[in-house]
Amino acid sequence: MTARPRHRKPRPGWWVPALLIMAAIWWLSSQSQTPGPALRHPFDWIAHALAYLALAYSLGRATASWAAAFLIAVWFGAFDEVHQAFVPGRDAGITDWLFDLLGALIGVKLAVRKSSVQSKSEDGSSVADLSEGTR
């Protein structure tokens, strides 16, 4: 069976959640102390990964480009870590950024997977065709 090219269409409506997530991340990192109970390791790293998973997923759906979504999310994470270095009571951390990167990678993979599943089902392919394409 020949592989069909994947044609993903950007979905501009997905920019809304992406920008809201970016605003929430920026706002939270601008606080000397985040609202609610303090997260200790490893829970703060899990929070980083989940936030950037959601961001990269939204960006992946908005741009229809895994590379663009990943780069935007990773650069935003790096920029935010530098920003935190200037917030009293906060510090920048390479480990935090690595968990941002991990979450972004997973989010992009999920967005791309969802896009390819939807595009294949829209063109009439069966679920069996999907599993054959991964071999």
CA separation, residue 65 to residues 36, 85, 99 (Å): 35, 31, 21
Q: How confident is the model at residue 117, as a pLDDT?
A: 62
Amino acid at 68: A
> Which two structure tokens, joined as six digits, stand for 75?
């650069």
Q: Which of 5-14, 104-113, 123-132 is the most confident on average?
A: 104-113
- Strand extents, DSSP E, the chain: none
Q: How many Å from the N-terminal Cα to the C-terminal Cα in the chain?
A: 11
Q: How confident is the model at residue 118 (pLDDT cuts 50, 70, 90)?
A: low
Give pTM, 2 decimals.
0.79
* DSSP conformation letters of 36-69: SSPPPTTHHHHHHHHHHHHHHHHHHHHHS-HHHH
Query: pLDDT digits over 1-50, tens only?
Result: 455 445 678 999 999 999 999 999 999 999 998 888 888 889 999 999 99
